[in-house]
Amino acid sequence: MRIVNSEMYFLMLVSFALTFNHVKSAHLISIPQSDIIPTEMNNSHVRRPLAEEYNETRENFFRDQLSRELGYDVKLSADEQKVNNFIMKLKRDEIEKGIQTPFQFLPSRHIFEVLQQINSSKLFKFIRKLPKGGILHAHDTALCSADYIVTLLRRDNLWQCGEFDAKVRPQFKFSQNEPIAVNGCQWKKVSEIRTRLGDSEYDRLARKLFTLYSDDPRNTFKDINDVWRTFMNIFTTLDPIVTYAPVFKDYYYQALKELYEDGVTYLEFRGLFPTVYDFERTYGPVEIAGMYVETLKSFMDSHPGFLGSKFVYAPIRFTDDATFDGYLKTVEELREKYPNFIAGFDLVGQEDLGRPLKDYASRLLKMPEDLNFFFHAGETNWHGTPTDENLIDAVLLGAKRIGHGFASIKHPKVLEEIKRKHICLEVNPISNQVLKLVDDYRNHPAAFFFSDNYPVIISSDDPSFWETTPLSHDFYMAFLGIASAHQDLRVLKKISGKFNKL
C-alpha cells in the first residue's frame, strides 16, 4: 500500500488504535490469564539428551515408531525373506528415482497419466505375481475389464438406441424384436451399426462408454459431482447389457476368472440384485442370488484354488423409507435362502448427495444382530457435515467394516473406536483418486492408518471403470505411495484380507 503523506499515515494509526480498543473493550476476544504461560515454562517436560546419549535415544525412539507400523508383527519365513529383499530393492529404486526427479514418482501423479508406465514397472510386474488374498470392497457390475465388456457387444440380438457422437449416451438392450422407441430414439441392431462403422472403430467408440479413463483426467472432470455423474452414467449404460440372463452368468464367471489371474482368491462384492431379464421374463433377487451361487460353484469346481465369493446387499442411499423397508425384507429373504452367500448389508452411492446413515438408524437397529453391517462412510473431503459424520453412525450401529473411511482421520473419537473394536477400514486408493478425493497417494489418509497399525484392507472398488487390474494396481499404489519407505512385504501380507466373512 502506498502512503500519500505523514498526516494520512498518522490518521490511519489512530483509527487502528481506536478499533483495537473497541474490540478489546467489547470482550470479543478473551484469553484467560492462566493460559498465558511464559515461554520458558511452556515446555517444562522437554529435555535435551546429552550428546553421548543422542544416538542411542534416537535408535530407541525410531525402533518404537517402527514397531507401531502395520505389518511389523508379521513373521516372514526364510523364503519370504528372500522375496522381501528383492521387492524392497525394487521399491527403493522407484523411491530414489522419485527423490531425484519428483515428477517421475508415479504415485504422485494421476493413475490415468501414468498407467502405461506402471504396467511397465518392474515393481508392478512383481506385485502382479504375488498372492493377494481377498477383495472385500467391489461392486457387482464394475468387476470385468473394459476389454471383456466390448466383446459382449458382439452378441446376437443386441440393440442400440442413439449414436456415439450424440449428447445423450447410447442405450443398449437385448431383444428378439425391435424394442419400443425411447423418447423418439429409434433402435438399431448393433450388428448393423458395427458393419457401418467397422469393427475396430465401433469397439473404440463403445469402449469409451464403459470407462472413466482420460488422457487429461484433471481437467476432464472439474469436481467430484462432475466425475460422479459420469461414473453413475456408466452403470446406467452397462446394466441392460450385463443383466441379460445369459450374459449375467458369463459376466460373473469372467469376473472371478480375472480376479483369480490377478492373484485374488476370495471376493465380497456389493449390489442390489438388478432386475435380470431374458426374452421370456424377468428374475427377482432370490432367483438372481441362485444364479450367482450356481456360477460360483461352476467356477470353484474348475479352479480349486479359489476360496469363494459372497454378496453384500447394498441399496442406494437415496432410498425413501418405504422402499428401504422393502429392501430390509428382501435381505432377510435372501439370508434365509442363501445364508452362506449373503455376507452383510450396506448403503451405496455418492455420500455427499445421499441421505445420511442416521436417517435409517432406527430401522437398521431392528435388524438381526447377526446381519453384518459394512457401511460406506466418510467417502468425502468435507469435515463437520452429515457425510463425514456417517462415520460416527457406522461405528455406533456396529459396523464390522467401513467402506473407504477417508474422512476418519478428522474424527479422533471414531479412530479410537475403530482401533478398540477392530473395525476394518476398506481402503480403495485408486478409487479415491479417480473420484477426486486425493491427488498424490503419499497424502492419502491411509498413510496414517499404515503408520499406526490400524485394521486395514486394500480393495479396488470399481477397477473396470479405471481400466486397472482387479487388485494389483491398488496394491502397487498402497505399497509404494501410501506405505512408509520402511514397510516391506509384511505390510502386503497384512492388507490381504483377514477381515472377510469366509
Active site residues: 379, 404
| Dist CA 22 CA 26 (whole Å) | 6
Is 128:122 a contact under the CB 8 Å cutoff? Answer: no
Please name which of 78, 87, 75, 92 lies closest in space to residue 484, comparing C-alpha atoms: 92
- Phi then psi dihedrals of residue 464, to 5 deg: -55, -40
| Dist CA 160 CA 175 (whole Å) | 10
Please name which of 359, 381, 112, 376 lies closest in space to residue 225, comparing C-alpha atoms: 381
DSSP calls for 285-323: HHHHHHHHHHHHHHHHHH-TT--EEEEEE--BTT--HHH
DSSP calls for 157-208: TEEEES-TTSSSPPEEEE-SSPPPPBTTBPEEEHHHHHHHH-HHHHHHHHHG
Please name which of 288, 206, 190 lies closest in space to residue 243, comparing C-alpha atoms: 288
Is 142:464 a contact under the CB 8 Å cutoff? Answer: yes
Phi-psi region of 183 (alpha: psi -120 to 50; beta: other; left: phi over 0): left
Q: Provide the b/e sequence for 201-239 (b: ≥16 CB within 10 Å).
A: ebbeebbebbbbbbeebeeebeebeebbeebeebbebbe
| Dist CA 352 CA 385 (whole Å) | 9
Q: In what order do the strands lie in the sheet with 424-427?
A: 374-377, 401-404, 424-427, 456-458
Q: What angle do CA 48, 54, 56 make, to 5 degrees?
A: 135
Side-chain half-sphere of 416: how many Cα atoms within 13 Å?
3
Give every CB contact of residue 386 below 8 A, 6+ residues apart in sequence: 356, 358
Neighbours of 368 (CB within 10 A): 8
Which cell numbers hold the place of 387?
457425510
DSSP calls for 326-342: HHHHHHHHHHHH-TTTE
Give every CB contact of residue 247 below 8 A, 6+ residues apart in sequence: 152, 155, 174, 241
Q: Is 80 helix (H, G, I), strand (E, B) or coil?
A: helix
- Give the CA distances from residue 502 to residues 31, 136, 336, in Å, rounded to whole numbers and listed in that order: 57, 11, 18
